[in-house]
Structure 1
Amino acid sequence: MIHSNAATRLKEVSTDPVTLDYHGFTVTRSTPTIGAEVGGIDLREPLDDATLTSLRQALVRHKVLFFRDQDITPAQHVQLARHFGELEVHPVFPHHPDHPELVLLGGNKDMRGRENIYHSDVSWREVPSMASMLRCVECPEAGGDTIWVDMARAYAALPEAVKERIDGLYAVHDIMPGFGARMTPVEREINRKKFPAVTHPVVRTHPEGGEKILYVNEGFVTHLANFGEKAQFRVGFDFRYGELDLLQYLFRQAAVPEYQVRLKWRPNTIAFWDNRSTQHYAVQDYFPAVRRMMRATIIGDKPF
């Protein structure tokens, strides 16, 4: 497992050159804020430790990396992702028959996909994911893009008064809003016991890059755990509506285009993103065409 603390801290707008050289590959920035396309690397081949370290540095720096024309097998996908940490087995999504660490994503001609909400993968876990690695198996010629959002930039741009207001607040993250409808009543009871709602700081610190990150998402956050301890109000509805208004304001930050990058998929495109500092949204504009994907998710660390 490769770790690095060499990532630079957040800047208002990147002044990096458009194309940067790393050990074993190049990256070309997609936007001034987030995203980069990786070139000069074949993920079917073994990668040395220096290249893996550079990939991790690039991930922390650019937050999502795009690789084109990477015709890797499911076994290679798992092996590649495992270089960056232990892989999770998702409790709800269907798995690859030979590799339970790979989830199979996508609807079919009779059922739409349902990932079109801004979210960070498995933030409902006590120890959420560090990163996800998604490969396109099949996609429509048009539509089905994915959007990623730089939530460190979203936090940095907040008004100072809002930063003061959310300092010390904790949000409750829950598996059920996103996945409860996919479960039978028995499965809901089992998973409720296995995955109780958890609290994470509204503003977390990136353990490698050091940035402050706005860590609430409308896919899994249900409420603020300690809003009443800090809020000032006259009567009860001030408290309740104040909490709802603040959460909705924070959720909306992910929808700001200036914090986003958008990827048009092609078969054998891979996106590798940092779940600690980003949210994403899978655009569902292609139904009844089919989009099939495989994803490996790397276990991270407890937010602080």
Structure 2
Amino acid sequence: MSVVVDSTVEREAWPSFTTGAHSIEVVPLTATIGAELRNVSLARASRDAELFAELKALLLQYKVLFVRDQDITRGEHVALAERFGPLEDHPVAGSDPDHPGLVRIYKDLDSAPEHYENAFHCDATWREVAPMGSVLRCVESPPVGGDTIWVNMVEAYRRLPEHVKQQIAGLRARHSIEASFGASMPEEKRRALHATFPDAEHPVVRTHPETGEEILFVNAFTTHFVNFHTPENVRFGFDYAPGASELLNYLIRQAAVPEYQVRWRWTKNSFAIWDNRATQHYAVQDYWPAVRKMERAGIVGTPSF
């Protein structure tokens, strides 16, 4: 069962420890992923290099960090994210006009339910270089619902059967914005989106550039393998189709394993900071027509060789 972290729960019951020169209190939330941080100011971390270094080290260890009740401006939000690297805009979701790169994910009473977030995905793998990570703030939360789930894709790879690891070693796959965000667009607009963002190709098993961990790197944006149809893998047509798609679907479903997950219940001015290279996430859309407003700073990544 995924862990639901609720602000109404008596938090002192959670095991915790302090770390670093700034005595950050760290509360691990599951055995495999996620920690809530207390006694830390993200506004201060946006301008304090030593505090930020502690934060980054914890991120590499826990893969997603959560912090509640942050008194922070949009400028400080952006400055914190920019300590990780340059920010990137989103071609479909709008940005704050005063803070380019701060994407507004606003779901209000005028918005019909949308279904591009409620799938396990790694942000923007349809880019040639997928984001390094994100810093996400809850501006307004529904009274109940609207949680987000994160998944440790290092653990998902580690626990694959050995014969599957051997089968996918060296495989590469395509990731598409046209087949996801573009699917509901008129044909002309969809084709224009594809022309701007052609399908990207990434390894099925990626090596983390900082930790060296191996990561299962397929998700809801992944459409197909590009180098599966070889004599070693394909004897007859059904080995390739549907054989390859069955293998890909099996790999994508690993994100749904609860043992790899943490689930976070949002409150106003709570934050999540995640390593997009090592995780997937799923925004649970069970709250409409209630309002949910989030602001996300996405950080440019490095190539996934």
**Alignment correspondent of 1:126:** 128
1:62 aligns with 2:49: no
1:19 aligns with 2:22: no
**Alignment correspondent of 1:7:** none
Aligned partners of 1:231 and 1:254: how far apart in 2? Answer: 28
Q: Deviations over 1:145-185 (max 9, x none)?
A: 00000000000000000000000000101111221045454
**Alignment correspondent of 1:97:** 97
Q: Deviations over 1:224-267 (max 9, x none)?
A: 01011265334212211110110110011000000000000000
**Alignment correspondent of 1:272:** 273
**Alignment correspondent of 1:177:** 179
> Is the partner of 1:228 in helix, strand or coil?
coil
Q: Cα–Cα, structure 1 residues 237 and 84, in superposed 2: closer, same or farther, change >3 Å?
A: same
1:276 maps to amino acid:
R
1:37-48 mapped onto 2 (5 Å cutoff):
37-45=36-44, 46-48=46-48
Aligned partners of 2:229 and 2:200: how far apart in 1? Answer: 18
**Alignment correspondent of 1:79:** 79
- Percent of residue pairs identical: 52
**Alignment correspondent of 1:111:** 112
2:236 maps to amino acid:
V
Q: Choose 62-71 or 224-233, whichever is displaced more.
A: 224-233
1:33 aligns with 2:35: no
2:86 maps to amino acid:
E
Contact 2:182 / 2:193 at 8 angstroms: preserved in 1?
no
Q: Choose 171-180 or 38-47, whichever is displaced more.
A: 38-47
Aligned partners of 1:285 and 1:235: how far apart in 2? Answer: 44
Contact 2:28 / 2:34 at 8 angstroms: preserved in 1?
yes
Aligned partners of 2:73 and 2:186: how far apart in 1? Answer: 32
Contact 2:151 / 2:255 at 8 angstroms: preserved in 1?
yes
1:126-275 mapped onto 2 (5 Å cutoff):
126-181=128-183, 183-217=185-219, 219-229=220-230, 231-275=232-276
Aligned partners of 1:214 and 1:23: how far apart in 2? Answer: 34
> Is the partner of 1:252 in helix, strand or coil?
helix
Aligned partners of 1:167 and 1:175: how far apart in 2? Answer: 25
Q: How many residues matched?
A: 287
Structure 2 portions without partners, runs of 5+ = 1-14
Deviation at 1:48, TM superposition (A): 1.9
Aligned partners of 2:82 and 2:198: how far apart in 1? Answer: 27
Contact 1:35 / 1:65 at 8 angstroms: preserved in 2?
yes
Deviation at 1:278, TM superposition (A): 0.1
Deviation at 1:22, TM superposition (A): 2.6
Report the TM-score, using the length of structure 2 for normalisation.
0.90
Q: Cα–Cα, structure 1 residues 20 and 182, in superposed 2: closer, same or farther, change >3 Å?
A: farther
2:192 maps to amino acid:
I
Aligned partners of 1:104 and 1:231: how far apart in 2? Answer: 47
Contact 2:16 / 2:25 at 8 angstroms: preserved in 1?
no
Aligned partners of 1:149 and 1:89: how far apart in 2? Answer: 24
2:17 maps to amino acid:
T
- Runs (4 or more) in structure 1 with deviation over 4 Å come to 182-186
1:39 maps to amino acid:
R
Contact 2:63 / 2:279 at 8 angstroms: preserved in 1?
yes
Deviation at 1:108, TM superposition (A): 2.2
Report the TM-score, using the length of structure 1 for normalisation.
0.90
Q: Deviations over 1:13-69 (max 9, x none)?
A: xxxx84241332232111111000111111223542121111111111100000100
**Alignment correspondent of 2:296:** 295
Contact 1:231 / 1:239 at 8 angstroms: preserved in 2?
no
Q: Cα–Cα, structure 1 residues 297 and 230, in superposed 2: closer, same or farther, change >3 Å?
A: farther
Aligned partners of 1:230 and 1:132: how far apart in 2? Answer: 41
Aligned partners of 1:230 and 1:83: how far apart in 2? Answer: 47
Contact 1:29 / 1:35 at 8 angstroms: preserved in 2?
yes
Deviation at 1:144, TM superposition (A): 0.5
Structure 1 portions without partners, runs of 5+ = 1-16
